[in-house]
Structures are given as structure tokens and as C-alpha cells.
């Protein structure tokens, strides 16, 4: 597998990086609330990270063209490591939000550098295999990352140091790789306004993925800690990613055989049922039952983003696939900014189970929208579908697609073949 050998260092770097992300996914909400801040304020901090993520995606073109992929990744990893350490000393909500905003910018730049490089280095006949390895490795890392917080009391400096160290270690594979960097990208305008005219269901689903999933994942560890104790937060958070890892590929393959909108509706319906089950039976479900239901929620909620991107690829004109796909990232980012803020307020009003009322009712609405679009709209006129492969819901690879030129074309082709 020549292509896999060429990008093994890049996959290793992102996998290491995602271990740290998984750790922070549990550490941030627990430490933030332990400092006496409200859950609605935590929603603001999560939204600040998403805003930084969007800013980083917008600025990635200029940075990659100016200094190259390795330097962008190296500088961003250093910045992210410092902002992670700064969280331990953050005393105010503004300080937390500022650190996460800067961290979001750095994370977006790192993913833009790695994934544009990755896509331009994969051979056409091996893209599906390599993308599959990449997604399995990174999602497994997200599930494993929270385990590094086990054994440390809330508020201790060790988890922050571990997460910062992991970000620093991710530099090693990228800086030591012998693979040549891809050509500098060329800027091209996004096609955000055209997306809704091309595939309304894809736009709605991607926004829903950001709105629902970002808020739930930001605050779910708090629910587990309050309901079952701080030690349960780690396993509870990981359960969602394990569920997604199990169902993602079967759901994607099913979407190659039937209307993708209906598959999205099945997945969001599954997540709605699991979330509402947790909301209604909160006081009756034991810890293992809650983890199982949250894993089912993750299997549905964390698996439909890539199918929505594939639906956009099915309907977009060939020359506009790259632009349409790139814009979906920013639709997702806008949802991920709003979601944590809204769910934080809901939890302050309804208590711990509010997170699942939010997730369940929002998913019900999204399910209805997908079924409506699937039944009242005719199927895509094209006789062929793009072959599906998974898509990360926090990836900024789509932003790189917008850069155009030879790099953009290669990334677009990779995205189409990977189900974007």
C-alpha cells in the first residue's frame, strides 16, 4: 500500500493529536464547573472554540501558501499546547473563552495542513482504504483519550500537562517525515449561498450535526459526573465515540443503496430515541444502561455528517463539488457555535436531563426534516452515487477544498470518492 506508507506519518500525527482532544473533551467541562462557573458559561466557552475553528479555517489558505504545511502544523501545535496549559490557570470565563478561541484557530490550521497534504498524497485506487484507516485511527483515539484523565482529581494540573504534551508530541511525525509537501494552495471563493439551492437536506443535516453534537459532547461529561460520580465521566464520554465507530461504515454503505436523506433520518431517529430514553428514565437507568444508551446516541448522532456531505456531492455539479463541499464545513461551524450556548442554558433551566431533552427533541425535528425531504422531493437525477466513506465531523478538510487549483481538485476528488 504505497499511498498508506506515504501518509503514515500524517495519520500518526492526527491520531496522537486526537488522543489529546479526547482527554480535553472530559477535562474541560469538569474543571470549568469545579471552578464555580455555570453550565451556560461552559456553553459560551465551547462556542468560542468553534468560532476559533471557523477563523482558523478561513485563514488556513494564506498561512499554508505563505509558510508551508509543516511550519503551519508545527507553529499551530505549539500554540495549541500553550493554550491548553493556560486553561489550568484561567480564572474567569473570559480567560477560558479566549484560550479556547485561540486553541480553535490552531486546531483548524493543523487539520487544514494535515488533511490537504493527506489528500494530495493518496493514490486514486487506494483512497477508500487510506481514508478508512485514517478515520478508524482518529475516532479510536477520541475514544481512548479520556482514559488519560483517570486517577487525577478534578482541578489537578496533570491532565492539562498530559494534553499539552500530547499536542507537542504530534509534531514529531510531521516534522520528521520524508514525504514532500504539496504545492501551495490557491484561494477560491466559497459557495455557501449556493449550497441550499443544490441540496437543502445536506445543509440542514450538517447544521444539525454541529448544533446538536457539539453541545451534547461539551456537556455530557457533567451529566455523568453528577449522576454517577466524576470517575464515570470518562467512560460515558468515550461510549459515544465507540458507538459511532461501530455503526458508521454500515450506515454509509447503506446510503449507497438508498436515498441518503432517509438513512440520515434513520440515524437521527436512533439518536433521538436514545436521548429521549435518557431524559425520561434518568433516575431509573443504572450507569451501564446510561452508557449503553449514550453509545446508541453516538452511533446515530455522530455518524450522519459524512452521509450529508455525500448527498451534497451527489447533487452538485461536477465543477462545483469542491466549492459546495467546502461550504458545508462553515455551516457545521455555525451550528457548533450556537449549540453549546443553547444547551448550556437548557441545562441551567431543566437540570442534568435537559441535555438529553435538547438532543432528543432537536433530533426529532431533524428526523422529520430528512423524511420530508426524502419523500416529497424526487431522487437525484444522476444515475450514479458517489461511493461513501466516513467524514469527520470536526475536520477542516472541507475548508482546504475551497483553495482551488491543483490541490483543491485533488482534495475534491478525494472527498467525492470518500463520500463527501
Would you report the helix, strand and coil content of the chain in percent, each value rounded to 5? 80, 0, 20
**Phi, psi angles (nearest 5°) of residue 221:** -60, -30
Query: pTM surpassing 0.85?
Result: no
Secondary structure class of 287 (helix, strand, coil): helix
CATH class name, domain 2-417: mainly alpha
In 127-282, the DSSP E strands lie at: none
Taking alpha carbons only, the member of 123, 181, 138 closest to residue 410 is 123
The Cα angle at residue 301 between residues 300 and 305, in degrees rounded to 5: 105
DSSP letters, 230-256, are TTHHHHHHHHHHHHHHHHHHHHHHHHT
> pLDDT tens digit string along 365-411?
999 999 888 776 554 444 456 555 565 555 534 333 333 333 343 43
Q: What is the pLDDT of residue 326?
A: 54
Q: What is the pLDDT of residue 293?
A: 94
The answer to whether the beta carbons of residues 330 and 192 sit under 8 Å apart is yes
Burial class (CB in 10 A: 0-12, 13-18, 19+), 151: exposed
The answer to whether the beta carbons of residues 186 and 408 sit under 8 Å apart is yes
> pLDDT tens digit string along 154-197?
888 999 999 999 999 999 998 888 777 777 666 555 556 676 77
Question: Under 8 Å CB-to-CB from 178, ≥6 apart: which residues?
Answer: none
> pLDDT tens digit string along 67-108?
888 999 999 999 999 999 999 988 899 999 999 999 999 998
Q: b/e for 257-268, b at 16 or more Cβ within 10 A?
A: eebbbbbbbbbb
Amino acid at each position: 500500500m504505497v499511498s498508506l506508507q506515504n501518509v503514515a506519518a500524517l495519520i500518526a500525527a492526527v491520531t496522537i493529536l486526537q488522543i489529546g482532544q479526547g482527554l480535553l473533551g472530559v477535562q474541560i467541562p469538569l474543571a470549568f464547573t469545579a471552578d464555580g462557573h455555570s453550565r451556560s458559561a461552559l456553553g459560551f466557552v465551547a462556542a468560542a472554540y468553534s468560532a476559533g475553528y471557523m477563523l482558523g479555517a478561513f485563514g488556513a489558505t494564506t498561512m499554508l501558501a505563505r509558510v508551508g504545511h509543516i511550519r503551519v502544523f508545527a507553529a499551530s501545535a505549539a500554540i495549541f499546547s500553550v493554550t491548553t496549559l493556560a486553561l489550568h490557570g484561567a480564572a474567569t470565563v473570559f480567560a477560558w473563552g479566549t484560550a479556547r478561541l485561540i486553541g480553535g484557530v490552531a486546531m483548524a490550521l493543523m487539520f487544514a495542513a494535515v488533511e490537504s497534504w493527506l489528500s494530495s498524497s493518496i493514490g486514486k485506487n487506494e483512497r477508500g482504504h487510506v481514508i478508512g484507516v485514517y478515520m478508524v485511527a482518529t475516532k479510536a483515539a477520541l475514544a481512548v483519550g479520556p482514559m488519560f484523565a483517570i486517577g487525577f482529581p478534578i482541578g489537578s494540573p496533570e491532565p492539562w500537562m498530559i494534553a499539552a504534551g500530547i499536542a507537542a508530541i504530534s509534531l514529531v511525525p510531521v516534522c520528521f517525515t520524508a514525504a514532500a509537501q504539496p504545492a501551495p494552495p490557491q484561494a477560491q471563493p466559497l459557495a455557501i449561498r449556493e449550497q441550499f439551492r443544490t441540496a437543502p437536506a445536506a445543509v440542514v443535516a450538517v447544521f444539525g450535526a454541529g448544533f446538536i453534537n457539539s453541545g451534547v459532547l461539551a456537556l455530557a461529561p457533567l451529566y455523568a459526573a453528577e449522576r454517577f460520580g466524576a470517575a464515570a465521566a470518562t467512560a460515558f464520554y468515550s461510549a459515544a465515540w465507540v458507538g459511532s465507530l461501530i455503526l458508521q461504515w454500515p450506515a454509509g454503505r447503506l446510503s449507497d443503496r438508498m436515498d441518503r436523506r432517509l438513512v440520515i433520518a434513520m440515524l437521527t431517529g436512533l439518536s433521538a430515541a436514545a436521548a429521549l430514553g435518557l431524559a425520561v428514565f434518568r433516575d431509573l437507568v443504572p450507569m451501564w444502561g446510561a452508557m449503553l444508551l449514550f453509545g446508541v446516541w453516538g452511533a446515530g448522532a455522530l455518524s450522519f455528517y459524512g452521509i450529508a456531505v455525500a448527498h451534497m456531492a451527489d447533487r452538485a455539479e461536477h465543477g462545483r463539488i469542491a466549492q459546495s463541499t467546502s461550504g458545508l464545513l462553515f455551516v457545521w461551524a455555525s451550528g457548533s457555535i450556537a449549540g453549546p450556548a443553547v444547551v448550556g442554558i437548557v441545562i441551567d433551566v431543566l437540570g442534568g436531563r435537559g441535555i438529553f431533552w435538547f438532543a432528543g427533541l432537536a433530533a426529532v425535528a431533524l428526523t422529520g426534516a430528512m423524511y420530508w425531504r426524502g419523500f416529497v422531493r424526487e431522487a437525484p437525477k444522476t444515475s450514479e452515487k458517489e461511493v461513501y466513506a466516513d467524514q469527520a465531523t470536526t475536520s477542516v478538510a472541507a475548508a482546504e477544498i475551497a483553495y482551488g487549483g491543483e490541490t483543491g481538485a485533488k482534495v475534491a476528488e478525494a472527498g467525492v470518492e470518500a463520500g463527501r
